[in-house]
Amino acid sequence: MVAGGQSDEASNPTPHPAPSPTLQPMPTDPTATSTSSSSIAAVNASTPSKSSVKETLTSIIIAFALAFVFRGFVMEAFLIPTGSMAPTLLGQHIRFTSPQSGFVWPTNTRDLNPTSAEPAPIQGSPNNPVEVTDPMTQAEVRGQSMPRRWGDRIFVIKYLYSVYEPSRWDVAVFKNPRDPSINYIKRLIGLPNEMVALVDGDVFVRPFTPEELRNPSSPTNPATQNPWGLPGWTCVAKPERAQRAMWQPLFDSSFAPLSDTRDGRRWFTAPWLATEADASNWSLGAAPTYTYKGSTPTTLMWDEARLPINDAVPYNEPMGVSPIRYPVSDIRVGAGIRPDIDGVTVAAFVRSRGHEFKVEITGDKATLSMRPLASSLSPASQPDQPWTSLGEATLPEPLAKGRVTNIDFWHADQTLSLYVEDQLVIARPYAWSIEDRVRHSMGFSLDQVLQAGALVPATTSYVRPSVGFAFSGGVTLHRVQLARDIFYRPDIYQSVNDANQAHSRRGQPAAATHPAQNLVLTADQFFFCGDNSGASLDGRLWDKPEPWSALIDPTTGIVPRDLLIGKAFFVYFPAPFRKQGIPVPDFGETRWIW
């Protein structure tokens, strides 16, 4: 499926020059007695001298010079016009508030101006409202006469990369290789002198040497071998701050609806299921808290059949972007847990890719572990394998009766992590190669992937995850949350490029998403993707650079160092809205960019 071809530029707002300084006249001497002297002083006070005019002009020139130097070489403001980085950074959009849950979320605009391709200032009419779904309750929400909000305004540190090397996961602004007059903003995921592969939504990298490419007899030459089968590939984990910014919330019990019935019928059901034997002991209604009153072990499972965990983005719903949905197994699950008795054992787990990944808390001890599931073994009747412990840690305090303890279990980038009260307690990776990941997530061998020609048709083969909690006794759960990680989608090159011309690679697998389209970054080359992966025209799908950019580097899909502008670091004027015709910034959304 072809990704939505939105424009992804970051534009410069028109600068406003600082007001000219005003010089006040010098006062006359109050002790003067001569009338003529007083008259002369009064005239001098009311008529600026040549020196004061000169000083004023000099001050203005210096102020403008400093402003232009600062803007040109230190820091510059940019405007985000589109949603390719949503919801991390917002372009022009509309904002919904669910009348049932109170949840607030942005979506793309739908209606265009009849005289241009720009979004209309008012979205949705009484006869044709914008229809979306509340991500928390799945209730239908309709909007009419909704004002279009502007995009976020951000600060960018310019020429930082002349001093410091760019870091993976930076959000950076650069000149579009397809049109250098346009600025793009994306997330940096590939660095010089490495191969990059996007597999099952995650980023894998492998260092290489030029000798590997030059020597056809080398066993690690990607031109003569299946590059994804070469040794040295690793799944790169995001730093904590970037990962927190990139989680996409799917559910939070804090946003339970006001009522779960409408017209005498029940319309809302919590997306968590208790086992049939324990169902009578669980309270799982429309309340923000869940309670288990039983005394025997119990399990609470996410209702995957009703609410699949996939890479759908609520921001894209009005435009209907990318109907193909990929299951996402990089998941965050958490809750505020209040045991009813001392000594309760708590576990959270993710079952996917033929394995079960778990954290178990007993007293003040936490253990991370994993095991293969029977479905991934041959024959299928073979039982689940024993657990393999990845590591243990001690909590600051044990789970205590009557006290709420907030825990978060992360399964992301082939790493298991436990956070207690937002503090990392333990994190452990599991080292799978690309071959392991493809086999466990899709059930294919690398040879089958190479023969398939593209990974897009493989969506039906991707393993769907399941998520749950396990408790040994009575508990009350607050703020039960589930979120999924950003998923870098496989794709194919569009039939036409962004200039509405025939794409030079049309129909082929997109860059880095298939071993036949292996991405190799040499010195001073970088690879960028948008956070809104299903609706971002980024390095995966670009056509070859235009002639001026090609003089710097003719490689398709990469950004050369000379086109980097700087690192985005702060949203200083978040998506303002109009109130009685006056633009009002949403200062509550000012934030650092990670």
- Digit-coded pLDDT (tens) for 259-285: 888 888 889 999 999 988 889 999 998
> Structurally, what CATH architecture does the domain formed by 249-484 represent?
Sandwich (2.60)
d(CA 67, CA 458): 53
Give the pLDDT band of residue 7 (cuts 50, 70, 90). Answer: very low
| Secondary element (H or E) of residue 476 | strand 475-484
Q: For residue 253, what pLDDT is reported?
A: 96
Bridge-based pairing state of the strands 194-199 and 582-584: unpaired
Give all strands (DSSP E) within 354-465, no chain letters: 355-362, 365-372, 388-394, 405-412, 415-420, 423-429
Q: Are 430 and 417 in contact (CB under 8 A)?
A: no
Given a cut of 80, whether residue 137 has pLDDT beyond it is: yes
Lowest mean pLDDT among 174-178, 411-415, 450-454, 508-512: 450-454
Give, as one character, the DSSP assignment of residue 496.
B
For residue 451, count other CB atoms closer than 10 A to its CB: 10
What is the mean predicted confidence (pLDDT) over 239-260?
95
Q: What is the mean pLDDT of the chain?
A: 86
d(CA 418, CA 433): 24
* pLDDT tens-digit map of 29-62: 433 334 444 444 444 444 555 557 767 676 667 6
Residue 242: in which H helix or E strand, if any? Answer: helix 240-246
Burial of 502 (0-12, 13-18, 19+ CB in 10 A): exposed
Residue 456 phi, psi (nearest 5): -60, -45
Structural tokens at position 451: 């023969």
Distance CA 38, CA 15 (A): 45
Quote the DSSP letter at residue 217.
Answer: T
**Token couple for 322:** 């990318």
pLDDT for the residue numbered 426: 98
> Mapping DSSP to helix (H, G, I), strand (E, B) and coil, where does residue 492 land?
strand
Place of tokens 């992937």: 449
Residues in the chain: 594
Cα–Cα distance measured from residue 305 to residue 413, given in angstroms and rounded to the nearest whole number:
24
What is the distance between the alpha carbons of residues 246 and 171, in angstroms, rounded to a whole number?
A: 12
Report the Cα–Cα distance between both ends of the chain, in Å, rounded.
Answer: 29
Q: Which amino acid is at 368?
A: L
Distance separating alpha carbons of residues 513 and 200, to the nearest angstrom:
9
Q: State residue 44 phi and psi, 5-degree precision.
A: -60, -35
Reference 314, options 138, 55, 502; nearest CA is 138
pLDDT by residue (tens digit) across 463-478? Answer: 899 999 999 999 999 9
- Model confidence at 26: pLDDT above 50: no
CA 263 to chain centre: 38
Q: Using an 8 Å Cβ cutoff, are 169 and 68 in contact?
A: no
Exposed, middle or buried by CB within 10 Å (0-12, 13-18, 19+), for 325? Answer: middle
Q: Which two tokens stand for residue 402?
A: 């009557």
Amino acid at 241: R
Residue 150 and residue 586 in contact, taking contact as beta carbons nearer than 8 Å: no
Please tell me the predicted confidence (pLDDT) of residue 37: 46
d(CA 557, CA 2): 16
181: its two tokens: 């007059």
What tokens does 139 get? Answer: 């209730």
pLDDT exceeds 70 at position 191:
yes
Q: What's phi and psi for 108, nearest 5 deg?
A: -65, 155
